[in-house]
């Protein structure tokens, strides 16, 4: 009887051991990773003085007056921006009814002194422009050099940057030379600045 009991117990222990060895290993945790990407878009803004007023008191020999516009650009683009400039349309004259002041013949690459009864622009140190400009008021003579404002069909590049810009200023000068043959009044035109991220 004892032998039989021992055999049953031994058999039961053997079954328990075999069962323990054959049981699968069960884990209680698993991991996975997720990458979070915050994609910050490129932004750019541009502001100008809005209006540039140039006062002239003409003489028979002609006088030159000039004034500046402040163009301010902000962009978070790490490659910077490009600033271009042109007349708003293809007509590059200052107009007062049927009276006009023509665009100067000088170019950004080769600016020249203003011809009588013309107007132009300049950005110090850009292209062939003088290294500095200052306001003139009805000056009888001037050595400053100018370019005619380009038409909307062929804008000129005034600046290219290569980094984020905060309140980045470009000063654009405008000059007019007239003689007393020009009827009095306000002659106007509109120019357009475009700032584009690189």
Show the DSSP H helices in the chain as ranges: 2-22
pLDDT in tens, 149-183: 999 999 999 999 999 999 999 999 999 999 999 99
> What residues make up the domain containing 193?
44-197
Q: Is residue 83 part of a domain?
A: yes
What is the C-alpha separation between 136 and 175, in angstroms, rounded?
8
Q: Is residue 31 part of a domain?
A: no
Q: Is residue 1 part of a domain?
A: no
What pLDDT shows up at residue 22?
56
SS3 of residue 59 by DSSP: strand
Per-residue pLDDT of the chain (198 residues; tens, 9 = 90+): 555 545 544 444 444 444 445 566 677 999 999 999 999 999 999 999 999 999 999 999 999 999 999 999 999 999 999 999 999 998 999 999 999 999 999 999 999 999 999 999 999 999 999 999 999 999 999 999 999 999 999 999 999 999 999 999 999 999 999 999 999 999 999 999 999 999
Q: How far is CA 171 from the centre of its chain?
A: 14
CA distance to 95, 171, 175, 176, per residue, from 67 (Å): 18, 10, 7, 9
Q: Are 42 and 52 in contact (CB under 8 A)?
A: no
What is the C-alpha separation between 84 and 154, in angstroms, rounded?
10
What pLDDT shows up at residue 23?
63
Q: What pTM did the predictor assign?
A: 0.84
Q: Is residue 11 part of a domain?
A: no
Q: Is residue 55 part of a domain?
A: yes
Q: Which residues on adjacent β-strands are paired with residue 196?
A: 82
What pLDDT shows up at residue 26?
75
Percent of the chain with pLDDT over 90: 85
The 8-class DSSP code of residue 188 comes to B
Which domain CATH number covers 124? 2.60.40
What is the C-alpha separation between 131 and 123, in angstroms, rounded?
9
Number of domains in the chain: 1
Q: Is residue 158 part of a domain?
A: yes
What pLDDT shows up at residue 9?
46
Strands (E), 135-190: 145-146, 156-160, 165-178
Q: Is residue 4 part of a domain?
A: no
Q: Is residue 172 part of a domain?
A: yes
Q: Are 162 and 93 in contact (CB under 8 A)?
A: no
């Amino acid at each position: 009887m004892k032998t039989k009991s021992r055999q049953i117990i031994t058999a039961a222990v053997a079954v328990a051991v075999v069962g323990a060895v054959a049981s699968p290993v069960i884990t209680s945790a698993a991991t996975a990773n997720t990458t979070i990407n915050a994609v910050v878009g490129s932004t750019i803004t541009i502001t100008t003085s809005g209006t540039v007023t140039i006062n002239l008191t003409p003489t028979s020999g002609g006088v030159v007056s000039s004034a500046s516009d402040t163009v301010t650009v902000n962009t978070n683009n790490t490659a910077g921006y490009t600033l271009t400039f042109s007349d708003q349309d293809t007509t590059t004259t200052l107009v007062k009814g049927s009276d006009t002041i023509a665009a100067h013949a000088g170019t950004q690459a080769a600016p020249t002194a203003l011809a009588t009864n013309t107007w132009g622009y300049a950005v110090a140190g850009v292209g062939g422009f003088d290294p500095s400009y200052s306001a003139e008021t009805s000056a009888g003579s001037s050595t400053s050099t100018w370019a005619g404002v380009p038409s909307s069909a062929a804008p000129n590049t005034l600046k290219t940057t290569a980094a984020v810009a905060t309140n980045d200023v470009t000063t654009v000068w405008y000059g007019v030379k007239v003689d007393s043959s020009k009827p009095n009044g306000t002659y106007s035109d509109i120019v357009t600045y475009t700032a584009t991220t690189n």
